[in-house]
Amino acid sequence: MNENWEEKFDSLLYEYSLLSSEHNQLKLSHERLKTYTSYLEEENQELKKLIKDYEFPQTRAKTEENLISRSASIISMSKPGYLLTEVEKSQDMPAKAITPLKTPQPQPDNGIETEFSTCIYEGFFVIGIKPDTIKSKPQEQILFEFPTSSSISQSMKAIIPGLALAIKDVRELRLTGSASELNNLIFGQIPPKRNNNCFIFTLRNETPGFGEISDMPNANREVMYFICLLIDDITEFEGQEWIAPKCYCIASYVPSFELHYEVLCSILFLKRLHRMDLMQTLVTGEMTSQLSNIGVTKEGIELLEGLGKIVNIDELMEVSISTSSLDCLKYTLPNDLNVLDIPWLCVPLFSSVLFTDFCWLISALVQEKSIIFASYNLGLVTSCVLAMRALIRPLNWISLTIPLIPDDLRELLEAPVPVLAGITHIEAKLRHRFPNIIWVLLDEQAPKHRVQFSSGLVNEVTEIDLNVSNTFKDFYIFDSESTFDKTKESQENAIKIAKKLQNYWQGILDKFSTKAIKDPKTVKKIVNGFATTEQKFINTLVTTQMFANSFEE
């Protein structure tokens, strides 16, 4: 009996990987079904309550009188100088910048449930140190949020502080003769341009669904982005002033990172203006106490309300937001929403990694190898992680993606699944404990030594075909000394590279079908249809679980 046992073994192994993928999809569907059943039960209870509390016309008229009275109290907030401290959440503050069509339902799995609109942002937070822990072991918490009722679940809010405030260095404020430190805190906390203290983290949404714009990145709301700006600020506790970290954060499904960054800077600018007004009326003795614990000004809230009105997102749409003390903030969406996030994320990556290393890294990622970026520069490391994810679209990376792993969650490096993540640092002796991880040490001075891995991984990664990489090699021109300086040329080059890769991945997917990937003989026939130099890479790619899931999507 002349049977090719090696070929049969490969066929069985391939079928096993497909069955494993289908099993995981069934588990996910089962979890979503449980969540949906729970939601129906909650909706049923709400419906019963609405029927019970139904207001007759005379009752409704009384309610409208109360609403008019409440509106009057909101208008009274417009007096000059009104501000909100971190611990104050005014009862008269508008409850929402964006009014959802139904009440969001917190999910135990940190999921978010909301209508699938395309609002430009979901919520705003100020994260800082709990006052009563400032003298001992500093702990983070949400000091302020707006709107007070949003699509973000309480279970997710419990996670946000630890990811937003990865650095918790606290020190006592000591005034020198020149008061230089105090002046820097008051006047120097608004970056003139993007720097390492502006970073992004994401949280997975376990109840995804498509919004109105299917071409936009994250159109299925797979993750929520948190755009953060980290500063040092003055905090007073028990009559003593401290310098403590504080994070201003915007949560959004829409990766319009540049707009969100400008809004955060504007909120800090309005806060600085308020402090300057205060300084004109204060005497030296009460200076620091009055300047401490300042949160978000009334104009800052107005700015967020203006941002919340941006709901009909479209290509080349012009955004214009202003307040009485702020010049008009303008932003124009690109003519191709599919690359909305590319310039912000990819310019730092391309500026930090050599072309040959990038080609190897992107090849390793689509073959489900773990890649960890390391840098004390929070803005750089989180951009690189999310850029790698963006550059493999429409392939669907289903494993862990963590832009910044907190120090107390380092055990995630031991996850038995592929990981794409960032960390602030890791010692060489610890890296050797993880031979299956590819390390990208962004703080390494010599670019050619930034990508490090065990010798065993060399033979496990089949690199993308040279003819393919040459199609975008000429666009890989970036200044390694200006990581965050997005010139028009660098942005255009980043978009060209992203589109070349996207077309390549899409072209591979287009040659297959759900039926085809389940038949090893058909797969082999399709792979043989590619150029000879591409076949080894394609053959490795199509046997990954990621490829199967990408196709099913």
Q: Per the omega criterion (within 30 degrees of 0), is the bond before 192 cis?
A: no
Query: In the chain, pLDDT over 70 holds for what percent of residues?
Result: 75
160 touches 110 (CB < 8 A) = no
Q: What is the β-pairing status of strands 296-297 and 83-84? A: antiparallel
pLDDT over 90 (residue 83): no
How far is residue 192's CA from residue 250's CA, in Å, rounded to a whole number? Answer: 19
**Residue numbers of the domain that contains 445:** 341-550
Which pLDDT score, from 0 to 100, does residue 234 have? 86
How far is residue 370's CA from residue 392's CA, in Å, rounded to a whole number? Answer: 15
pLDDT over 50 (residue 393): yes
Closest CA to 459 of 544, 385, 360, 372: 360
Indicate the range of 25-34, 189-198, 394-403 predicted with least confidence: 25-34
- What residue has token string 């089962």? 30
Structure tokens of 318? Answer: 């012009």
- Spatial CB neighbours of 318, under 8 Å, sequence gap ≥ 6: 330, 331, 332, 333
Task: Classify residue 161: in a domain, yes or no.
Answer: yes
Task: Classify residue 31: in a domain, yes or no.
Answer: no
Q: Do 189 and 305 fall into the same domain?
A: yes
| Single residue among 287, 304, 333 that ends a domain in this structure | 333
Q: Do 447 and 319 fall into the same domain?
A: no
- What's the pTM? 0.79
pLDDT over 90 (residue 418): yes
Q: Do 226 and 263 fall into the same domain?
A: yes
Task: Classify residue 510: in a domain, yes or no.
Answer: yes
Which pLDDT score, from 0 to 100, does residue 186 have? 77
Which pLDDT score, from 0 to 100, does residue 281 have? 76
540 touches 462 (CB < 8 A) = yes
Name the more confident of 210 and 69: 210
Closest CA to 220 of 394, 24, 29: 394
Instruction: Name, of 127-136, 397-406, 496-505, the range with top average pLDDT.
Output: 496-505
- Spatial CB neighbours of 218, under 8 Å, sequence gap ≥ 6: 225, 253, 254, 255
For the purposes of burial, counting CB atoms within 10 Å of the CB of 62, is it exposed (0-12), middle (13-18) or buried (19 or more)? exposed
- Spatial CB neighbours of 320, under 8 Å, sequence gap ≥ 6: 328, 329, 330
DSSP-based three-state secondary structure for 422: strand
Q: Do 321 and 351 fall into the same domain?
A: no
Task: Classify residue 262: in a domain, yes or no.
Answer: yes
pLDDT over 60 (residue 65): no
Indicate the range of 29-33, 76-80, 129-133, 342-346 predicted with least confidence: 76-80
pLDDT over 70 (residue 6): no
Which pLDDT score, from 0 to 100, does residue 278 have? 81
- Spatial CB neighbours of 541, under 8 Å, sequence gap ≥ 6: 366, 367, 508, 547
Name the more confident of 9 and 171: 171
- Tens-place pLDDT, residues 97-149: 333 333 233 333 333 334 445 789 999 999 999 988 988 889 999 999 999 87
Average pLDDT over residues 478-496: 89
Which pLDDT score, from 0 to 100, does residue 10 have? 54
How far is residue 481's CA from residue 537's CA, in Å, rounded to a whole number? Answer: 33
Task: Classify residue 205: in a domain, yes or no.
Answer: yes
* Structural domain count, the chain: 2
Query: In the chain, pLDDT over 90 holds for what percent of residues?
Result: 49
Which pLDDT score, from 0 to 100, does residue 324 have? 87
Q: Do 482 and 425 fall into the same domain?
A: yes
Tell me the torsion sign for CA atoms 321, 323, 324, 328.
negative
Closest CA to 312 of 216, 389, 434: 216
How far is residue 159's CA from residue 408's CA, in Å, rounded to a whole number? Answer: 13
Q: Do 291 and 430 fall into the same domain?
A: no
Q: Do 416 and 432 fall into the same domain?
A: yes
Which pLDDT score, from 0 to 100, does residue 182 have? 75
Name the more confident of 94 and 501: 501
Average pLDDT over residues 351-361: 97
Which pLDDT score, from 0 to 100, does residue 101 have? 30
How far is residue 77's CA from residue 93's CA, in Å, rounded to a whole number? Answer: 9
User: pLDDT-based confidence at 51, cuts 50/70/90?
Assistant: very low
Average pLDDT over residues 362-368: 97
Average pLDDT over residues 59-79: 33
Q: Do 265 and 373 fall into the same domain?
A: no
Q: Do 346 and 314 fall into the same domain?
A: no
Residue type, 146: F
Average pLDDT over residues 391-420: 91
Name the more confident of 11 and 335: 335
How far is residue 194's CA from residue 291's CA, in Å, rounded to a whole number? Answer: 26
- What residue has token string 């039926």? 515
Domain CATH code at residue 481: 3.40.50.11500
pLDDT over 70 (residue 288): no
- CA angle at residue 403 from 398 to 409, to 5 degrees? 95
- Spatial CB neighbours of 398, under 8 Å, sequence gap ≥ 6: 545, 546, 549
Which pLDDT score, from 0 to 100, does residue 93 have? 37
Name the more confident of 240 and 262: 262
Query: Rounded mean pLDDT of the chain?
Result: 80
Q: Do 355 and 316 fall into the same domain?
A: no
| Single residue among 333, 362, 386 that ends a domain in this structure | 333
Task: Classify residue 525: in a domain, yes or no.
Answer: yes
CA-CA distances (angstroms) from residue 26 to 21, 23, 298, 517? 9, 5, 49, 18
- Tens-place pLDDT, residues 179-224: 677 777 777 678 878 989 999 999 988 676 655 567 899 988 889 9
- What residue has token string 């999310």? 386
Average pLDDT over residues 508-534: 91
| Single residue among 302, 333, 364 that ends a domain in this structure | 333
pLDDT over 90 (residue 514): no
Task: Classify residue 9: in a domain, yes or no.
Answer: no
The DSSP secondary-structure symbol of 373 reads E
Task: Classify residue 103: in a domain, yes or no.
Answer: no
User: pLDDT-based confidence at 267, cuts 50/70/90?
Assistant: very high
**DSSP secondary structure string, 77-124?**
GGSTT-EE-TT---TTS-S-SS--SS-----TTS---------S-SEE
Q: Do 354 and 502 fall into the same domain?
A: yes
pLDDT over 80 (residue 16): no
Q: Do 244 and 303 fall into the same domain?
A: yes
pLDDT over 90 (residue 371): yes
Closest CA to 218 of 307, 106, 116: 116
Closest CA to 113 of 159, 158, 154: 154
How far is residue 249's CA from residue 375's CA, in Å, rounded to a whole number? Answer: 21
Tell me the torsion sign for CA atoms 20, 24, 26, 27.
positive
Question: How many alpha carbons lie under 13 Å from residue 250 in its C-beta half-sphere?
Answer: 30
Which pLDDT score, from 0 to 100, does residue 60 have? 37
